[in-house]
Amino acid sequence: MNSSLTDAHAEPHPGRWVALAVLLCAVFMNMLDVTIVNVALPSIQKGLKASNSDIEWVVAGYVLVFALALLPFGRLGDIVGKKRMFMIGVFSFTIGSALCGLSHNIELLVASRLFQGFSAAMMTPQVLALAQVMFPPHERARAFSFFGMMAGIATVSGPIIGGLLIDHDVFSLGWRAIFLINLPIGVFAVLAGWKLVPHTESHPGGRNDYAGIALIAAAMFMLIFPLVEGRNFGWPAWCFAMMAAAIPMLAAFVLWERRQNRRNRPQLLAFALIANRNFMVGSVMALVFFSTMPGFFLCLAIFLQVGFDFDPLKSGLTTVPFSVGVFLASVANGRFGSVALKFRMICGLALLFVGIFWLRSYVLTITDTISHWDVLGPLLTAGLGLGMSIASIFQLVLAGVPAREAGSASGALQAVQQLGGAFGIAIISGIFFSRLASLLPAGGDQHPAYVQAFAGAVVFNLVAYVIVAVLATMLPAHKAASGPGKAEPHIA
């Protein structure tokens, strides 16, 4: 039997379940990298003598490049073949991980992280797309459930593995081990994937929307660069000019997509989605929602490890209740399907608000010591809230999208998810580091400064959840879309 999957009505690929294991390796490697880095940030900063903005770029640079490249590489996978793009992505991600682990200065590490994010964008869109074509409709739900399970395992284990690797200084590698751990996984995925993952049809005549890519990339850079670097330069006028210039750049992107639509040419984001009010409201809602957690965990790691001398393992274990809450709520959420999406999302937002407010209230009472047991309840509550909200928000936004646009809308929402993370890292960590710089004494007790800086930063989260809840009321409460275009929360 030919291993190429070119016919939608052909027999299912006989080695699909073994091939699924290879795809799951890629999911695990990507998710592990996302969750493990935060634990290592204080060690990286100390080891490479990096500034606060450098550390922001280690996280924000990865997320930003990943977000901007996600849609183009999803399209490119259709053009050159999903397996080929997946294999290039896994190989490149493995090389990027090695470069991160071997970096001898912060500039090289940031550049390697940008390459790693670029590689993740090649790999990630192909994973679900390959599963979609490998499995017949009656097996897809079971197959996709493994992706959620693997993402949950990586999310829970990431902080623990990172803490163990750094705390025990495995092979005297220090923080470098968190990146080099990807190498055996990546090598296995490349070798096994070449043999086991089936080939898919390519469409060499297809084209990408390169002008649209350039316009949206320029707009995002104009917004995020000054947010991260403005503090270091004392917020000169050019920072505000760059952010203001992003608005006409976004307008130019919209006009370009409209022009492409009129001429029936490739569009980075289908203009039908831009013109869909519910989708645009939902996209803003998703942008704000997903802006909250990446920056929160960046600041929490520095708060615990630098402010209160937690070692990386204790810091990682402290955040595990949040991951457990997300995992438990996600499993429970799957049993409800598309029932009461808006109600479930607002309940999840309420739990998130309560958890973060509870954590902030506790932090404000801290003097000289902090116990990880004291933050277990707030983090578990917030994790349950995120797990309850995250699936509902995807389904609720896509509910108002016509079935023919569901695939494009799903990919666009995944890109919005990552862009939100980049914005959140810039804004939340900007608040944290600005307050820390103004409050940190030249000598003496540093604890009050870290307490006030962290408490000030998480106010962004609280405000964001209120905004998302208000925007959610503007969306119709009809049933989520079903079928092949139905989106799952993005695995990265």
Phi, psi of 5 (to 5 degrees): -100, 90
Q: Specify the DSSP class assigned to residue 267.
A: -
3-state secondary structure of 14: coil
Model confidence band, residue 406 (pLDDT cutoffs 50, 70, 90): low
Q: Which residues are 5's β-sheet partners?
A: 200
The answer to whether residues 285 and 472 touch, using CB atoms and an 8 Å cutoff, is yes
pLDDT of residue 477: 63
Closest CA to 81 of 166, 163, 197: 197
What is the distance in angstroms between the CA of the first residue and the CA of the last residue of the chain?
Answer: 34
pLDDT above 60: residue 478: no
Residues 6+ apart with CB under 8 A from 180: 97, 98, 101, 173
Mean pLDDT of the chain: 86
Total residues found in the chain within this entry: 492
Residues 6+ apart with CB under 8 A from 238: 226
> What share of the chain has pLDDT > 90, as a percent?
48
Residues of 150-161 as b/e, b for ≥16 C-beta within 10 angstroms? Answer: bbbbbbbbbbbb
**CATH numbers and ranges of domains, the chain:** 14-197 (1.20.1250.20), 269-487 (1.20.1250.20)
Closest CA to 299 of 97, 124, 451: 451
Q: In sequence order, which ranges of 335-365 are alpha helices (DSSP H)?
A: 341-363
Kindly write down the DSSP assignment for every residue of 131-145, as one continuous string.
HHHHS-HHHHHHHHH
pLDDT above 60: residue 199: yes
For the whole model, what pTM was predicted? 0.85
The answer to whether residues 89 and 35 touch, using CB atoms and an 8 Å cutoff, is no
- Residue-wise pLDDT for 10-58, tens only, equals 566 678 888 999 999 988 888 888 888 989 999 999 999 999 889 999 9
Q: Which residue has the higher pLDDT, 329 or 407?
A: 329
The sign of the dihedral angle between the CA atoms of 235, 238, 242, 245 is positive
pLDDT above 50: residue 482: no
pLDDT of residue 6: 43
